[in-house]
Amino acid sequence: MHDPRVLLDPATDAVRKLARRGFTLDTAYLEKVLSGRNAAIGRGDDARAESKRLSAEVKTASAQDRPALVGQSRDLKSTVSEADAERDRLDAELTEYLLGIPNLPADEIPDGTSEADAEIVRTWGEPVEIEGAKDHVTVGEAVGILDLARATKLSGPRFAVLTGKGPRLERALSRFFLDLATERHGYTEFSVPTLVNREAVTGTGQLPKFEQDLFKTGVADRDLYLIPTAEVPLTNLHARETLTAEDLPLAYTAHTPCFRSEAGSYGKDTRGLIRLHEFSKVELVRVVRPEESRAELELLVGHAETVLQELGLAYRVVKLAAGDTGFSSEMTYDIEVWLPGQGQYREIASASDFGQFQARRAGIRTRSKDGTRGFAATLNSSGMPIGRTLVAILEQGQQPDGSVRIPEVLVPYCGFDTLEPA
């Protein structure tokens, strides 16, 4: 959540920056609510101070003067109560408005509102054209690992059933991703809840704006949300905590199921594994010092790229345009894997620098040994989604005889190097 004083500071240039992502900052409204809140605080403080003075005066007042002083004291207490109520009302109004303001996009990202405006940063591997290339659904069904019809029978559209060697390959991918993150890149692995409270999803920016994209349930006296990504519980591990700045960065990872309603996306990617309501993913989260967040973003996207390089999957990295960057992010790199069955690159992962945006919302503070206080910066990336990686393996690994070649690095994990036609 933003500091309103920073948004109103001309040096921040918040109006222009937010306009790049299609958001109009109402500075007049913000100034009105903020000044009203400050005035209410001032009235309450003045009345409290005067009430305290009168209380001392009442003790020494004569019997003749005491009733008038008591009456004034009663009026002042009423003024304090009214001022506090006004302050609380305006506090809530201000918070509601601030929670709906997206992060300020970095100046170094391109202008634009769609993926067509993204800047291509680099390409890795050869996007080989395969004659007669089939999409991953056709390939997956042919080698007997994918059953969408039975998934639909169980849960409706946008769910998947893996069978045969499919679940073994799914387990192999998750183990490989976690081993790479923990053993080579130094991440600490967590097992975290997949149901979290409203405060947690507000802290990372999914609420209140994107409530329609979440699955909501309840336990006893509280609302809980199924996580859209392990970013939510991993980042909120340190909510309302003060971290020692010299102990940063922190690097966390987890493999979890993820749940997304995909509200508003019907008609897109309805076939196959690309846009499911339920899928699994290994997530990477970093909590860092703000001045190091850009360097940490480059490190993070490199960790995600290493996964695809080890798998031998051709991909490219693009820098998203301001109007296409996620609500909480200052800057995002998308990693797009080559899908010969579609003849194009498709997003497989995103790596984002949130600056202090999430830390302010979640209350993740820092304190240096010299006493300097502030907020941490947070970042996250997929490291990778299991389903979309499987899509890339099926499409890039398809062979003329209908089989699928498994990346060599996965063979020790899954125990086979080929998926044969069923």
Residue 280 is given by DSSP the state E
Annotated binding residue 382: yes
- Cα 197 to its chain centre, rounded Å, is 15
Annotated binding residue 83: no
Q: Give yes or no: 50 in active site.
A: no
Annotated binding residue 349: yes
Structure tokens at 20: 């790049």
How far apart CA 245 and CA 29 sit, in angstroms, is 36
Neighbour tally for 29: CB within 10 Å: 12
Q: Residue 17: which residues within 8 A CB-CB, separation 6 or more? A: 104, 105, 107
Alpha helices by DSSP H, listed for 286-406, are 293-311, 357-362, 386-396
Structure tokens at 119: 């800047």
Q: Which of 57, 93, 347, 420 is catalytic?
A: 347
Annotated binding residue 262: yes
Annotated binding residue 283: yes
Measured between alpha carbons, how far apart are the two ends of the chain, in Å?
Answer: 53
Q: Which of 174, 350, 352, 381 is catalytic?
A: 350
Q: Which of 43, 89, 168, 275 is catalytic?
A: 275
Residue 417 is given by DSSP the state S
Annotated binding residue 348: yes
How far apart CA 106 and CA 333 sit, in angstroms, is 12
How far apart CA 166 and CA 393 sit, in angstroms, is 12
Q: Give yes or no: 350 in active site.
A: yes
How far apart CA 357 and CA 354 sit, in angstroms, is 6
In the 3-class helix/strand/coil scheme, how is 292-305 assigned residue by residue?
HHHHHHHHHHHHHH
Q: Which of 294, 316, 361, 388 is catalytic?
A: 388
Structure tokens at 18: 């937010």
Phi-psi domain of 363 (left: phi exceeds 0; alpha: psi -120 through 50; beta: other): left
Answer yes or no: are the C-beta atoms of 249 and 287 closer than 8 Å: yes
Q: Give yes or no: 388 in active site.
A: yes
HSE (side-chain half, CA atoms, 13 Å) at 101: 26
Annotated binding residue 330: no
Annotated binding residue 263: no
Annotated binding residue 236: no
Annotated binding residue 395: no
Annotated binding residue 347: yes
SS3 255: strand
Q: Which of 37, 260, 316, 360 is catalytic?
A: 260
Phi-psi domain of 85 (left: phi exceeds 0; alpha: psi -120 through 50; beta: other): alpha
Residues of each annotated binding site? 229-231, 260-262, 283, 347-350, 380, 382
Active site residues: 260, 275, 347, 350, 388
- For the annotated binding site for ATP, the residues are 260-262, 347-350
List binding-site positions for L-serine: 229-231, 260, 283, 380, 382
